[in-house]
Structure 1
C-alpha cells in the first residue's frame, strides 16, 4: 500500500508538472488569423456580477457568448491573457503577453479594464511580471508572478508587497480571512496564514486549480478534471463529478453552488455544487493551459 501511494503521488506530481510547463506564455502558437470562431487554450473564467455574462480569457483574447451562444471577441485585443479575474461589475484584472506581431514588452505586468474587457490600461510591472494566477479579495490583488515564482499582493495595483517564492499553478484566498491563501503545487495544496509571506509544504490531494468564493465552499479540480469541495478550508475534501473533456484549464466558483470549469473541449457550468455539469461554450481542443 505504501508503495502504491508513493507511485500515485509521483504520478500526480508529474501530471501537475506538465500542466505547469504547458502554462508558459512562450509557446509561440498565438493565432493571428482574422476571424476566430472557436476558442482554445483557456487561462481564466469569470461572470460579471451585474449581468451574469460569461467571460473567457484565452491565448487569443477574451471572448463572451453571443445571443446564439457562439464565442465573440470582446474589444479588439487578441493578446494572450494569462492571469485573469473579475473583481467587480465591469472591472477585470489580467496579465499576459502581446499578440504575435503586436508592439509592447513581452510581459504585460498587471493590466485593468473598467469596461468589461473592451479596453485595458497598464497599471504596473510592465515588461517585468507575468501573473499566471490572479485573485481579487478584501480590496487586494493577489498575484502569482511566474517570472520568479513569487506571490505578490497590492491594494492599488501599482505598489506591491513581495511574499513567498515557490512553484505553484493557482492561488485562492479565503473570502473571510485576507491572511489565508492557498496555492496548488506538485506536492498538493500549500497554505499561508500570513497573507502569502510564507507557505507550508503542499498537502494531498494534488489540485490543478482552486476557487473560493464562499467560506463553506472551497472548490478544487485535479489534473483529470475531477472536482472536489471542502467545507473546512482544505482540511478535508469531498469528491464530486468529473468535468467532461479531460485536463482542466480553469476553475471559477461563482457562489456556493455555481461553478465554471474549462477543459480541453468546453466551458462547463454546475448549478448544483459540482454534482453535475452542462456545457456552456464549445472549446477547440488544445494541448494544455
Structure 2
C-alpha cells in the first residue's frame, strides 16, 4: 500500500511493499479495512501504521456499515458474510453469487452478482430483492444516495432509480 501527503506528487510505501496485493480497500471515518489477497487476510488499521490481522479467508469485496465502522459485509465464495471486529463472520442466507457490495445508506445495501444481476436489501443485508440488470462482466461498484455506478467490460453505467434502469455513461469498444 502506498500513500501521498503532497497531492500525489510523491508516493511512499505504507505497508508490506512487494509482499501483499490489496484488492479491496474500505475506508471508515476512523481507519481502513484492507484485504491482502496474497495472505488471504482481512486487516484493519486506525492510523495507517499499526495493522491488525482480523481473519483469514477468501474475499472479493468489503462494505462498511455507515452507522457502525466495526461492522462490515464481505462477499465470499459462500455468499455475503456479516462480520464484526472481534467475532467470527456469519453467512447471510440467500446471498450466493453476490460478488460486489456497497452500503448506500444506514439500511440499504446494493449487491451485484457475477452475471450482472442487481440486488438490494433494505434491512442491512438480511433479505434481498432483484432490482435490475447490467450488461457485461462486472468489475466495480459504487453507490450513494444520489446514484449507483457500475463498471463492466462493456462500459460504465449509472442508475438513479435504485437499479431499475441503467444508462451508459461510458461505452467500451
Instruction: State if a TM-score over 0.5 links the two structures.
Output: yes
Alpha carbons of structure 1 residues 159 and 226: separation in structure 2 relative to 1, 3 Å: same
The answer to whether 1:156 aligns with 2:47 is: yes
Please give the secondary structure, in 2, of the residue aligned with 1:224.
Answer: coil
Post-superposition CA distance 1:228-261 (Å, at most 9, x none):
111111001121110122x2111111x2241110
Structure number having the greater helix percentage: 1
Unaligned runs of 5+ in 1: 1-109, 285-289
Aligned-partner Cα distance in 2 for 1:117–1:243: 33
Aligned residues of 2:20 and 2:38 also touching (Cα < 8 A): yes
Alpha carbons of structure 1 residues 119 and 279: separation in structure 2 relative to 1, 3 Å: farther
**Matched residue, 2:154:** 265
How many residues align structurally?
A: 172
Structure number having the greater strand percentage: 2
TM-score normalised according to structure 1 size = 0.55
Unaligned runs of 5+ in 2: none
Tell me which of the two structures has the higher relative contact order, counting C-alpha pairs closer than 8 angstroms and 6 or more residues apart. 1
CA RMSD of aligned residues (A): 2.0
TM-score normalised according to structure 2 size = 0.90
Aligned-partner Cα distance in 2 for 1:212–1:117: 28
Aligned-partner Cα distance in 2 for 1:114–1:281: 31
**Matched residue, 2:68:** 177
Post-superposition CA distance 1:18-64 (Å, at most 9, x none):
xxxxxxxxxxxxxxxxxxxxxxxxxxxxxxxxxxxxxxxxxxxxxxx
> Shift of the alpha carbon at 1:116?
6.9
Post-superposition CA distance 1:76-115 (Å, at most 9, x none):
xxxxxxxxxxxxxxxxxxxxxxxxxxxxxxxxxx123457
**Matched residue, 2:163:** 274
Aligned-partner Cα distance in 2 for 1:112–1:238: 38
Aligned-partner Cα distance in 2 for 1:220–1:116: 32
Aligned-partner Cα distance in 1 for 2:6–2:79: 37
